[in-house]
Amino acid sequence: MSYLDNILFIIVLGIGIGYFSINVKKIIRNIKLGQNVNRFDNKSERWKNMVMIALGQSRMVKRPVAGILHIIVYAGFIIINLEVLEIIIDGVFGTHRIFAFLGSLYNALIASFEILAVLVLVAVIIFWTRRNVIKLKRFIGSDLKGWPKSDANYILYFEVVLMSLFLFMNASDLWLQTHNVPHYIQAGSFPISQFIAPLFNGMSESSVIIIERTTWWLHICGILVFLNYLYFSKHLHILLAFPNTYFANLNPQGQFDNLESVTAEVKLMLDPNADPFATPAPDASAAPSKFGASDVQDLNWVQLLNAYTCTECGRCTSVCPANITGKKLSPRKIMMDTRDRLVEVGNNIDLNKGIFIPDNKSLLNDFITPEELWACTSCNACVEECPVNISPLSIIMDMRRYLVMEKSAAPMPINAMMTNIENNAAPWQYNQQDRLNWKNEN
C-alpha cells in the first residue's frame, strides 16, 4: 500500500467516524429532551441486567429458533469485526496482517471468523425467508409497511455483502500467499476461503492483487457505511441495547409511579392534624407544568432511549391481548411512533439552530390515537416479552394520564367509575350507606 493509499484510507476513516460521531451527538441530544428520572441506583443489579440481557441474549432464546439465529448473527457481528482493528492498523500504516505474530492464536482466530461468516450467511438467509417468503404474522403488520419493511431487508443484504466480501478478501489473500507474492506474508488459517481460492487459478498476480485490494477496500468501506446507516435504522439497538438494559426500570412490573405533587396533596387531605389553610412545602407540592405526556418532551429520557432501541421485532405486539383480539393497539407501533416523532422534533431543532419551534403537531393524535391508548389492558405482556427491556406500557400510561388529568378525556365507562368513586367512595353507583351491606349477605 502506497503513502497515497494510506492518506486516502485515513481520510475515508475520518469521514466515516466523524459523521457517525455527529449523529451520535444528535441521538444523545434528542434523548436528553426527555424529563429527568433517576436510573442510577442499584448499580450491581443494573450491571447484571446488562450482562445477562444485552450481552448474554437471555431473553432472545425464549423463542429458540429466532434466538439461536440472532445469537449467531450477533456473535458474528462482534467477533468478526475484531478483524476491523487489524484492517484499520494495516490501512493507516500500510502493513499487512499486522497481528500475524500471534502465530497459532492468529490462525485460530481467522479460522473462527470464517466459520462464523458462513453461519451468519445461513442465518441471514433464514431471516430473509421468514420475512419475505414464509411471511410470519409479526413481520407483516400494517405498521411495517414502507420504510420499516425495506429497512429490515436492507440490513440483511448488508450482512450478506459484508460476509461475502470478507470471504473473498481472504480467498484472494490466501491465493497470493501460496504464490509467494511479496507483501502477502503467510499467516492465518482459511477453512472456508480455501475452497474459493481456486477460482483465481489462471489469473495473473496483478489481477488477483486488484481483487484482493478491491474486496479489502469494499469491506472496510462497507463497515463504515453500515456504521453510519445505523443512525437511520432500527438496528441502532446493536449499540443502544446495552445502556437500555442498564437503565431499565427495576421496580416490580405493574408498579405505577406516582406524581409527588399529587401524593403530597392526598397526604395533606388525609392528615387530621393538617392545617387546611397551610401552604405545603414547595419541594413536595410543586406540580409539574403538565400531568402526563402529550408529546415526546413530556416523556422521560429512558422512554426516549427505549424508542431508539426498539428493533421492531414485533414480539410485544404478537403477545398483546388487545392486538390479538383485533383492536387497533400495537405496542411495536407505539415505540415506532415515539421514535418517529422524536426524530421529527430533532430535525426541527437542527433546522432552527438548536431551538424547537412549535410545529402544531404532537405525539398524541398526530402519531398515536386515544383509541390505541385505551385499548391497552395494562397486562405488561409487551414488557415481559421484549428482549431488551423496552416498556411500551409506560408510554401508554403516561399518555393516558394526560388524557385524564389534563383533558378529562377518558372513555365513558372510566369517567362513570371515577364519578362514582368521587360521589360514593366506590366504583359502583349506590349510596355510601349501603357500601358494607355485603357483610350481611351470609
Neighbours of 440 (CB within 10 A): 6
Closest to 351 in 3D by CA, of 26, 33, 35, 34 = 26
The Cα angle at residue 440 between residues 434 and 442, in degrees rounded to 5: 145
What percentage of residues in the chain have a pLDDT greater than 90?
66
Lowest mean pLDDT among 165-179, 293-307, 346-360, 400-414: 400-414
Rounded to the nearest 5 percent, the helix, strand and coil shares of the chain are 70, 0, 30
| DSSP string over 246-283 | HTS--SPTTPPPPPHHHHHHHHHHH-TTS-TTSPPPHH
- Which pTM value belongs to this model? 0.88
Closest CA to 20 of 226, 306, 311: 226
Considering all CA atoms of the chain, what is the largest pairwise distance in Å, rounded to the nearest integer?
100
Q: Would you say residue 141 has pLDDT above 60?
A: yes
Taking the C-alpha atoms of residue 131 and residue 385, their distance in angstroms, rounded to an integer, is 20
Q: How confident is the model at residue 255 (pLDDT cuts 50, 70, 90)?
A: confident
How far apart CA 308 and CA 336 sit, in angstroms, is 8
Q: Is pLDDT above 90 for 213?
A: yes
- pLDDT of 277-327, one tens digit each? 666 555 555 566 788 999 999 999 999 999 999 999 999 999 999 999 999
pLDDT tens digit sequence for 318-360: 999 999 999 999 999 999 999 999 999 999 999 998 999 999 9
Cβ atoms 418, 410 nearer than 8 A: yes
Average pLDDT, the chain: 90
Distance of alpha carbon 46 from alpha carbon 243, whole angstroms: 10
| Burial call 5-14: b when 16+ CB within 10 Å, e when fewer | eeeebeeebe
Angle at 260 between CA 257 and CA 262, to 5 degrees: 100
Selection from 57-66, 143-152, 217-226, 249-258 with the highest mean pLDDT: 217-226
